[in-house]
């Protein structure tokens, strides 16, 4: 499977605290643990065409997206191109603050707004769909000692499947793992991963992402026949006064 990990890659270059956690960027950490099983490349905002050329997307089975402070700098034409590839069958994993990315909002049709708080607080992600393939090899919950909080209401369409619900130390809950089908594409939103915490080094978080890319890969992309269609049955002539 060919995976492309896209990262905004700004916090890690501009903020010493974040750089200390992800010296080569969040994308390199994710690419690293996925590359044990898959063919993984990376792309970032400041590359030409954000690294998401037609050629790159044409060869991508699953795209992973991390963005936060520069959503507005992502070119609308590139967003439309990514959306088309999702509809054509490319899987998409949207991480954490990617909830506010143009690509996620375009596919959802809603504001994707939520509550948030940065307070070094504990998060516990409970599995609520325990036979879902995205929960393979996981215990009944994942505990993260320090994370940013995201709280309900999360303004998304009703997910096709709700896989995780988070408990936060400060008193909120959140639908932290949610799947959506759009066109031929499978989309998974996964909440954790604030840039200042070492969340993507957590083995259970890595297991979720491993499971998610397998789930999102579309091994069966049918060719639809849209547009003008010949009748399959005889259509009787109607008289002019009918109806």
Site for its own copies in 134-193 (CB under 8 A): 135-136, 140, 144-146, 149, 151-155, 157-158, 160-162, 165-173, 175, 180-184, 186
Residue 120 CB, nearest approach to its own copies (Å): 5
Residue with smaller CB distance to its own copies, 36 or 243: 243
The residue written with tokens 């997910």 in the block is: 159
C-alpha angle 148/191/216, rounded to 5°? 160
Interaction between residue 18 and its own copies (CB under 8 A): no
* DSSP 8-state symbol, 236: P
Residue 38 neighbours by CB distance under 10 Å: 16
Structure tokens given for 191: 């909440």
Interaction between residue 23 and its own copies (CB under 8 A): no
Residue 227 CB, nearest approach to its own copies (Å): 7
Interaction between residue 80 and its own copies (CB under 8 A): no
Residue from 41, 106, 196, 204 touching its own copies (CB under 8 A): that is 106
Interaction between residue 77 and its own copies (CB under 8 A): no
Residue with smaller CB distance to its own copies, 48 or 227: 227
* Rounded-to-integer distance, Cα 125 and Cα 45, Å: 30
C-alpha angle 199/125/165, rounded to 5°? 130
Structure tokens given for 127: 């599995």
**Beta carbons of 31 and 41 less than 8 angstroms apart:** yes
Question: What residues between 55 and 74 interact with its own copies by CB under 8 A?
Answer: none
């Amino acid at each position: 499977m060919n995976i492309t990990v896209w990262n905004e890659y700004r916090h890690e270059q501009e903020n010493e605290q974040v750089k200390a956690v992800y010296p080569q960027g969040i994308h390199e950490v994710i690419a690293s643990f996925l590359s044990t099983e898959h063919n993984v490349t990376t792309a970032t905002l400041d590359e030409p065409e954000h690294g998401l050329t037609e050629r790159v997307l044409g060869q991508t089975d699953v795209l992973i997206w991390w963005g936060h402070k520069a959503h507005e700098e992502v070119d609308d034409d590139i967003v439309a191109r990514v959306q088309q590839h999702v509809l054509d069958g490319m899987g998409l994993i949207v991480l954490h603050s990617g909830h506010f990315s143009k690509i996620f909002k375009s596919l959802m049709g809603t504001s994707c707004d939520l509550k948030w708080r940065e307070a070094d607080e504990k998060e516990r992600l409970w599995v609520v769909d325990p036979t879902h393939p995205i929960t393979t090899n996981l215990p009944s919950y994942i505990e993260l000692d320090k994370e940013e909080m995201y709280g309900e209401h999360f303004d998304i369409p009703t997910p096709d499947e709700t896989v995780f619900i988070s408990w936060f130390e400060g008193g909120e809950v959140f639908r932290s793992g949610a799947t959506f089908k759009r066109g031929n594409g499978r989309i998974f939103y996964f909440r954790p991963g604030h840039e200042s915490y070492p969340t993507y080094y957590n083995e259970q978080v890595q297991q979720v992402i491993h499971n998610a890319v397998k789930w999102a890969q579309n091994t069966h992309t049918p060719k639809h026949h849209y547009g003008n269609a010949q009748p399959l049955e005889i259509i009787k002539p109607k008289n002019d006064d009918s109806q």
